Amino acid sequence: MNRAHPTAHRGISKAFTVTVLVIIVLAGLALALIRSGVTPGLSFNSQTSVSQANTSALITQTKMMGTATLNDLIAGKFPTALDKAGTGGVTVTVTDLRVIYVRTESDGDWHVAVTDGVIPVFITEITPSYQAALGQPQSGSIIQETGIAYCDTVHETESCNTCWEIHPVTLWHVIGTTTMAATTKVNAGLHASVSYAQNPIPRGSAQAITIQAQDSDGAVVGAFVSVEVDYASGSTIHTFSCTTSSSGSCSITWTIGSTSTPGTFQVIVDIAGGEFLSDFTVTA
């Protein structure tokens, strides 16, 4: 009867053990690669390129579909359309915009000036092709706007100090109202907004007026502000004054008489020689 030599048995056993150890080591390496996010069989450089490509696609999708802020637009985070019709542009949506005024321009566009509370004045435009369907938003309303990002260099040196606009606006809707009423008059680059504790407000109530002053450098600090309030009756005038704080704002408060004539109360604000007009409504 043939018998295997003991040395041969030991050789086979040793080879088997080495094979098993190699398999275990390779399996461990594969598991470590998977956990680190690198696909086995794909070089590190190739894996990085795939990740960067996926990231770029995600950023592009966000630009096309996400919401934005006015600061995002002014910072140039979205490419400009090729023209005022929005050709090749990116659609953006900006919410919580307060309408300052609506004005018809010589080319037929509606300039809808808005603010988000940070940017004093930002121009958005509703072109004639959208006007019938969208209508005009009302001053003082809080709206959400969707439209095309456009850098209009013609207006870059005007009071808004930016070429960026939402132009054209393709959709807007009201999401609230505000007691804020702001002027857009600019004196030597100075913007002022005027807000009220209540508007309209019942006579006999305490009214507060807050003035916010800004220029191209930001908040105007330490400015003397005079406020004149002309009552609806035409026979009563109150004058007040305050000085802007580090935030560029100051407030005055008084109580409207319980027998005051209801109607529109005119407010004249003077900041550093620049006059800004506003008004609020008093009810019976």
pTM over 0.75: no
- Cis amide prior to 168 (ω within 30 degrees): yes
51-60, 163-172, 234-243: segment of lowest average pLDDT: 51-60
The mean-pLDDT minimum among 33-42, 43-52, 258-267 falls in: 43-52
Is the domain spanning 182-283 CATH 2.60.40.1930? The answer is yes
Task: With cut-offs at 50, 70 and 90, classify the pLDDT of residue 10.
Answer: low
Predicted local distance difference test score (pLDDT) of residue 200: 86
User: How confident is the model over 22-36, as pLDDT tens digits?
Assistant: 677 666 655 555 555
Largest Cα–Cα separation, the chain:
134
Q: By percentage, how much of the chain surpasses pLDDT 70?
A: 69
What pLDDT, on the 0 to 100 scale, is given for residue 142?
A: 85
- CATH superfamily label, 70-178: Nucleic acid-binding proteins (2.40.50.140)
Spell out the alpha helix ranges (H) of the chain.
6-36, 44-65, 70-74, 128-134
> Does residue 120 have a pLDDT over 80?
no
pLDDT at 40: 46
Where do the structural domains in the chain lie, given as residue ranges?
6-64, 70-178, 182-283
pLDDT value of position 43: 40
Q: Three-class SS of residue 20?
A: helix
